[in-house]
Amino acid sequence: MNRPLRHIAVFCGVLVLALLARATWVQFVQADSLAKDDNNRRVKIEAFSYPRGNIIVGGKPITGSVETRGDFKYKVTFKDGPMYAPITGYASQAQSSTFLEGVYQDVLNGKDDRFFLHRAQDMLTGKKPRGGDVITTINEKAQKAAYKGLTNLHARGAVVAIDPRSGKILAMASTPSYDPSDFSGISLAEGKKFVALDHDKDKPMSNRALREIYPPGSTFKILTAAAALEHGAVTDINAPSGAPAPYTLPQTHTSVGNDVPNSLCDKVSMKTGMQWSCNNVFLDAAHKLGTDKMRETAEKFGFNKEFFTPVRSAASGYPQKLDQPQTALTGMGQGSLTSTPLQMAVITAGLANNGKVMKPFMVDELRGPDLSTIEKFDPVPLHPKDPQAVSVETAKKVQEMMENTVSAGTAKKAQIDGVTVGGKTGTAQHGADVGDERPYAWFVSYAKQSDGSSPVAVAVFVDPKDMNIPRSEIAGGKLGGPIAKSVMEAVLKK
């Protein structure tokens, strides 16, 4: 063979080897990533070629599948879609999946590795594949009460209810909401609906329960009280605090008053301060504790970290560096402090559970196509090595103050006949210049059984920005109290 031919042969051999190497790389190394690529239409067509598994609430499916025309044979349907959207998210042929539909996509579409034997059997028998089911912890009646309470107000807002003993999320509502069924297909009309929702100024696709953060206002005073008791800044909840009303922030000439007459709050005890939501008592307590001790207690209840329920939540924030007046302001839930409604429900649940904080979760188990359990989720403490955020003694003192606030203070709207209820109201100023926006309304509460345990704790958040009510009517007790009561009654079956 002459030299030029030899060079051509070697060159062709190199090309063949390169082609084989590339084919091997694509088939074996990149196969998984290519199969999961959002732009891989063949994978999408296959994924929607059979019915998807369901999300279950109270033993009944709240999602389903319906046959369609075109390449995608099935699309997902949602029962009571707007009510359950903050839980299910959406599963769209064009827009992918979010929340539980997204987190457990492989389970719902039958691609989870744990379904290998089922898939193999289906291939041998010619049986159509089917996805698995996601069994939630949601209480159907509590969810309905939460959603109805918010929609009756025509308000932006959120409700989260938790079983303090286990951390199970019993309800999670967010308004305004949307129906995931409206764009679960791939048609042009459905695409337009999605775009319209995505650009809606009312943000119906925002999960206000998990993904939005707000100043928690006076509901945070329950944590301030717990921190003050736990660190010894307050030893007797009935002793005079010595905090004057109005209260001058340290190192400033700024005076902070109260929503009730200052005469009701001047130098009163912490118990009375909780009863009438006296800002001065809790400003003073936070100032005496200092930033580090306040933040330490807040973090034991979950601040400064994301929750995974398994849907990821935004992290509530207690800042690392605060000066003295800023620290004092966090005592009444203002300043640089931020919280999700989920976080405030976790705090309330932890105190109702005698100081032991459980990790919040909303999936009880995953089931295979044959209804066998493939994974069961058990309750676990938020911090397994140190489950107690505060001592039992501290928690019981805060309970005493919260129960007094319901029976004889600002939280009377949460009273339930024959049931011990603890609660705390809150209004939170916000905006670039505090006071330039209508305040947020908050309410947190829990209900006790006869044995002293609590099966439900609730956090209600209401943004009254577009509500047709005067500013003087915006109050956590008035707007949030009745909603919290109805959710607790649903869980208690009263």
Q: Decide if 28 is inside a domain.
A: no
Count Cβ neighbours within 10 Å for each residue of 415-429 and write b for 16 or more, e otherwise: ebeebbbbbbbbbbb
Higher per-residue pLDDT: 432 or 473? 473
pLDDT level of residue 126 (50, 70, 90 thresholds): low
Write down the pLDDT at residue 99.
98
Give the domain range for residue 423: 217-369+381-492
- Average pLDDT taken over every residue of the chain: 91
Who contacts 165 (Cβ-Cβ below 8 Å, separation ≥6)? 353, 358, 379, 453, 454, 455
Tell me whether residue 263 is in a domain.
yes
SS3 491: helix
Residue 167 placed within a domain: no
Q: Which residues are catalytic?
A: 218
pLDDT score at 433: 45
Q: What is the pLDDT of residues 386-427, one digit of tens each?
A: 999 999 999 999 999 999 999 999 999 999 999 999 999 999
pTM of the model: 0.90
Q: Would residue 328 count as lying in a domain?
A: yes
pLDDT digits (tens, 9 = 90+) for 346-379: 999 999 999 999 999 999 999 998 888 999 999 9
Q: CA–CA distance from 443 to each of 202, 257, 298, 475 (Å)?
A: 22, 21, 18, 9
Q: Which H/E stretch holds residue 31? A: helix 31-35
Residue 89 belongs to a domain? no
Residue 391: strand, helix, or coil: coil
Share of the chain above pLDDT 70, in %: 92
**Is a pLDDT exceeding 70 seen at residue 285?**
yes
> For residue 230, what is the domain's CATH number?
3.40.710.10
Instruction: Determine which of 95-104, 425-434, 479-488 has the lowest per-residue pLDDT on average.
Output: 425-434
Of 119-128, 155-164, 301-310, 454-463, give the lowest mean pLDDT range. 119-128
First to last CA, the chain: 96
Residue 132 resides in a domain: no
Number of domains present in the structure of the chain: 1
Residue that wins the pLDDT comparison between 162 and 113? 162
In a domain, residue 339? The reply is yes
Distance CA 186, CA 448 (A): 48
Residue 242 resides in a domain: yes
What band does 118 get if pLDDT is binned at 50, 70 and 90? low
